[in-house]
């Protein structure tokens, strides 16, 4: 099979028939063998009924129905596990990603040798303050931390992957934003970008709020930390602990020398413990260190949890 198209969705019943017809037309025009895998992420509208009807009309359509809403990352993970195509295409179900981009993405993977190609919506039809500006700041941070300097839009839903890539990575929580970074960590370094057309939303409203940017930064820090120090945490904690110990030891030496000097000269000197800022600073350092360590340990436990990608599937066609 040439292409697998994975489409996670939540309450997008109105756009599904048009999207399926558009993808089918593109595939038939270019003679691709293909499958379309719709992941219904606990929709409360008629999305699943529409998917069943599309399956009856087009045998290339497949569907997975979650019992409840889990999020985009679980949808992609379940879709990736079921793909059979040499090239895997992901796109959103809201018609803002154009299926006409599929042949170009497929060519970059199969002919130009890219492991992953990410779309770049250079011209966007989203609100400037609530989406465009935060997205630019977020992508600048992601480029800096990931070292993937040639990507302008990490969060673009329209991407193409060599099949080996999606079978080699595991997406959980909200890590779908950082699939290029995860692919790089897994050893797939041929990562490219293609300018793609961004369509204005035709039906419904966006399912993502401003909290995704806050969560995105937290996930990025987690991914960077675990990919860098996950297998060698002592390199981080040992260095940080050593620096804190040395600074504390030097500070203590200064305090003791100062006290000894005052004793030697017979001049009065206040006790260090009489100064409240000493306890405030010490408490802040201890609490900050404990919180960071607790977060790291919790992340390691989450990654090792046996049910981290165990999602309840209600039906599959």
Rounded Cα–Cα distance for residues 44 and 125 (Å): 27
**pLDDT top residue among 277 and 27:** 27
Q: What tens digit of pLDDT does each residue of 77-121 get?
A: 999 999 999 999 999 998 989 999 999 999 999 999 999 999 998
The two tokens of residue 68 are 């409840």
pLDDT per residue over 52-73, tens digit each? 999 999 999 999 999 999 889 9
Which range has highest mean pLDDT (142-146, 148-152, 199-203)? Answer: 148-152
Mean pLDDT, all residues of the chain: 82
Residues 262-289, mean pLDDT to the nearest whole number: 69
Position 199 confidence tier, pLDDT thresholds 50, 70, 90: confident
Classify the phi-psi angles of 107: left when phi > 0, otherwise alpha if psi is within -120 to 50, otherwise beta.
alpha
């Amino acid at each position: 099979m040439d292409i697998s198209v994975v489409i996670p969705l939540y309450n997008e019943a109105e756009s599904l028939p048009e999207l399926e017809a558009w993808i089918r037309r593109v595939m038939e025009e270019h003679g691709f063998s293909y499958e379309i895998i719709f992941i219904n992420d606990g929709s409360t509208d008629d999305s699943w009924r529409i998917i069943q009807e599309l399956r009856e009309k087009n045998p290339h359509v497949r569907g997975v129905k979650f019992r409840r809403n889990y999020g985009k990352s679980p949808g992609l993970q379940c879709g990736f596990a079921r793909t059979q195509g040499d090239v895997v295409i992901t796109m959103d179900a809201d018609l803002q990603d154009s299926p006409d981009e599929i042949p170009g993405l497929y060519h970059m993977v199969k002919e130009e040798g890219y492991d992953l190609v990410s779309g770049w919506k250079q011209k966007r039809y989203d609100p400037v303050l609530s989406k465009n500006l935060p997205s630019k700041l977020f992508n600048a941070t992601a480029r800096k931390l990931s070292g993937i300097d040639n990507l302008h839009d990490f969060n673009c839903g329209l991407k193409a992957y060599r099949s080996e890539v999606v079978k080699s990575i595991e997406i959980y929580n909200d890590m779908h934003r950082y699939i290029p970074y995860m692919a790089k960590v897994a050893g797939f370094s041929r990562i490219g970008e293609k300018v793609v057309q961004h369509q204005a939303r035709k039906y419904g409203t966006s399912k993502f709020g401003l909290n995704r940017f806050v969560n995105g930064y937290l996930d990025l820090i987690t991914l960077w930390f675990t990919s860098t120090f996950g297998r060698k945490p002592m390199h981080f904690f040992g260095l940080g602990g050593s620096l804190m110990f040395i600074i504390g030891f030097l500070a203590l030496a200064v305090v003791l020398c100062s006290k000894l000097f005052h004793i030697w000269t017979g001049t009065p000197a206040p006790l260090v413990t009489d100064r409240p800022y000493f306890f405030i600073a010490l408490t802040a350092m201890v609490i900050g260190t404990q919180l960071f360590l607790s977060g790291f340990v919790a992340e390691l436990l989450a990654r090792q949890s046996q049910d981290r990608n165990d999602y309840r599937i209600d039906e599959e066609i």
